[in-house]
């Protein structure tokens, strides 16, 4: 069988969730949207359900998958509903629902529901993606509070630049939020992963750890709390061919790398069809037989090449870590001019193998 695989450490996942709780003292929704950022939503939910205060997903399809797998914990729909006819399903499966637009508020008021729902009312505090305008926020809260279709309200917003620790935008967004929710009695939720790790003074009864659950830091620079995260996914494969090349030979498509000296080249069963970033350049780190080495040339659909010149013990069948506990996903993402969120979510074709149950 092809040796490419993703090893998922569920004990590390639990550690990272517990860290979010520890550093905030708040209730925490584990964000497992996009198939738990490529880690497998059902297995991650099963690993966390005994201790998680709930989960958060993007849409009702993701939430229904969890319910079908037997997950009974609260599940928040971060994008709310897209059509009013989803509301009966939200009631039936006891989902919590973000309301970020006035049309959603209208739909809730007009619906005939078997029982009231739990609403998270989202404010646009400055990201300008989704959320109610601050001028509409108090009135929307009052309408929800007056509706027989609403059981409980949590007030929320989302930061645009919390991963920039020297940026004042998050402080400005907090000020907008506190102004809009003045005199409103409800729990609040502001802190996502970067705010959990790097903004301890931001108030939040509920936190929403996402990227940090999977052991990757949202920051470009070292950060004390983020250094305590444990990587959850190890993407690995094996050397399937070794080439001995003289100086001056091209490696891979487009001859993007020319050997500057005689070199040993390892061919690895991993490519962009597996989710490894095609734009990763020569020099992107890899870990082979206990030694850091590097990618050489272009990433192909199914294969990539690495430098074995200074790893004489490595050869056919050697295990290669593309990212994980020795090569952080953030290192690969930086080299490829992308972000860890994307390389996790792009994972496909490789089987996921779980440990730490």
Q: What is the largest CA-CA distance in the chain?
A: 78
Question: Would residue 276 show up in a list of annotated catalytic residues for this protein?
Answer: no
Residue 90 and residue 98: Cα distance in Å, rounded? 11
Tokens (6 digits) for 121? 């009312």
For the annotated binding site, the residues are: 129, 301
Helices within 111-240 (DSSP H only): 134-146, 169-180, 193-198
Q: For residues 79 and 85, what is the distance between their CA atoms, to the nearest angstrom?
A: 15
Binding residues for substrate: 129, 301
Q: What secondary structure, in 3-state letters, does 91-159 show?
A: HHCCCEEEECCHHHHHHHHHCCCCCCEEEEEEECCCCCCCCECHHHHHHHHHHHHHCCCEEEEEEECCC
| 115 is known as an active-site residue | no
Q: How far apart are CA 352 and CA 344, in angstroms?
A: 12
Cα angle 154-217-66, degrees, rounded to a multiple of 5: 50
**Residues 30, 18 contacting (CB under 8 angstroms):** no
User: What residues contact residue 99 under an 8 Å CB cut-off, 6+ apart?
Assistant: 80, 105, 108, 119, 120, 121, 122, 132, 140, 144
Rounded Cα distance, 256 and 171, in Å:
45
Name the 3-class secondary structure at 54.
strand
Residue from 318, 301, 302 nearest 265 by CA: 318
Catalytic residue of the set 33, 141, 214, 272:
33
Helix axes 10-24, 41-48, angle to 10 degrees: 60
Cα separation, 124 vs 133, in Å, equals 6
Radius of gyration of the chain measured on its C-alpha atoms: 23
What is the set of active-site residues? 33, 253
């Amino acid at each position: 069988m092809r040796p490419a695989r993703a090893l998922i450490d569920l004990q590390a996942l639990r550690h990272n969730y517990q860290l979010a709780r520890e550093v905030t003292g708040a209730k925490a929704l584990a964000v497992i949207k996009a198939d738990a950022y490529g880690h497998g939503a059902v297995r991650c939910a099963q690993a966390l359900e005994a201790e998680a205060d709930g989960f958060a997903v993007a849409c009702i399809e993701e939430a229904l998958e969890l319910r079908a797998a037997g997950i009974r914990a609260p599940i928040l729909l971060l994008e709310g509903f897209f059509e009013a006819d989803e509301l009966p399903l939200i009631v039936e499966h006891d989902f919590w629902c973000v309301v970020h637009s006035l049309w959603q508020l209208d739909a809730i008021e007009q619906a005939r529901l078997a029982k009231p729902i739990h609403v998270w009312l989202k404010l646009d505090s400055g990201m300008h993606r989704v959320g109610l305008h601050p001028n509409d926020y108090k009135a929307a809260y009052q309408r929800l509070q007056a509706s027989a279709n609403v059981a409980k309200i949590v007030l929320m917003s989302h930061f645009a630049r919390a991963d920039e620790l020297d940026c004042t935008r998050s402080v400005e967004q907090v000020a907008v939020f506190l102004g809009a929710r003045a005199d409103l009695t409800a729990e609040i939720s502001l802190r996502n992963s970067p705010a959990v790790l790097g903004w301890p003074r931001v108030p939040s009864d509920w936190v929403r750890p996402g990227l940090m659950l999977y052991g990757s830091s949202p920051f470009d620079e070292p950060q004390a709390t983020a250094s305590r995260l444990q990587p959850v996914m190890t993407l690995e494969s094996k050397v399937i061919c070794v080439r001995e090349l003289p100086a001056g030979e091209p490696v891979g498509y487009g001859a993007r790398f020319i050997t500057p000296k005689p070199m040993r080249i390892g061919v690895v069963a991993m490519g962009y069809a597996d989710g490894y970033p095609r734009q990763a350049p020569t020099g992107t780190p890899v870990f082979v037989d206990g030694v850091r080495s590097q990618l050489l040339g272009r990433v192909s659909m199914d294969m990539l090449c690495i430098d074995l010149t200074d790893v004489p013990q490595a050869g056919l069948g050697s295990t290669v870590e593309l990212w994980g506990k020795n090569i952080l996903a953030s290192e690969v993402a930086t080299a490829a001019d992308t972000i860890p969120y994307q390389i996790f979510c792009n994972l496909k074709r490789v089987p996921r193998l779980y440990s730490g149950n």
